[in-house]
Amino acid sequence: MWPWEHLAVGYLAYAVVGRFVWREPPTGATAAAVALGTQFPDLVDKPLGWWLGVLPGGTTLAHSLLTAVPLSLAVLAVGAAVGRGRPALAFAVGYLSHLPGDVVYPVVLGGDAKLWFLLWPLRAAPGDGPAHTAPYLLALVEQFVAFLATPLGVAYLVVELLLLALAGWVWTVDGRPGLPRPPRPDRAG
């Protein structure tokens, strides 16, 4: 999935959790935490796999349930201990929402579900990371643009725009957490 798709899915997931658990929308702190959580696996794995060559690919260590579950539990425990349970939960929801997105994304694009990374390193990565990151990223963007020109690509784009619109609408209804609130007009006089 693209970063904005992970963000939209994670925000919607946490908005549901926040309303279910606390009966209130996300705050600025929880919106920031969910945003960080939705990007966290890629912020770890892409640089270590694609740029530094430390990992065998861009969906390995932080994308593995063997890392994601214990790390999320640790974040929840520390958050609870320091009185920041809601942002900790927001990070965990964002992080854990990232993984199914990366499983389903290839299926949406007409391929097979990608499951191997969920148990990395118990399941080996299928090949090495790219030899040169910039050309690889350019090739990904070119493939995506070419995909958007197909009938399946057009359907995907419509669904993506609906997802982003829904997330934007929910975020707006929630009071745009994370952005400063505009000053209220003076009612005196």
**Pairwise CA distance, residues 46 & 21, whole Å:** 33
45 lies in which domain range?
A: 3-173
Q: Is residue 180 part of a domain?
A: no
Written as one letter, the residue type at 65 is: L
Q: Is residue 183 part of a domain?
A: no
Q: Is residue 181 part of a domain?
A: no
Q: Is residue 186 part of a domain?
A: no
Burial call 137-162: b when 16+ CB within 10 Å, e when fewer: eeeeeeeeeeeeeeeebeebeeebee
Q: What is the mean pLDDT of residues 51-76?
A: 95
For residue range 122-163, list pLDDT tens digits in order: 988 776 566 667 787 888 889 888 988 999 889 999 999 999
Total domain count, the chain: 1
**Pairwise CA distance, residues 38 & 8, whole Å:** 9
Task: Indicate whether 42 pLDDT > 80.
Answer: yes
Per-residue pLDDT band at 106 (split at 50, 70, 90):
confident
Q: Is residue 179 part of a domain?
A: no
Q: Which residue has the tokens 């209220």?
A: 184
**Pairwise CA distance, residues 169 & 87, whole Å:** 22
For residue range 74-105, list pLDDT tens digits in order: 999 999 999 999 999 999 999 999 999 999 98
Q: Is residue 121 part of a domain?
A: yes
Q: Is residue 100 part of a domain?
A: yes
Q: Is residue 75 part of a domain?
A: yes
Q: What is the pTM of this model?
A: 0.89
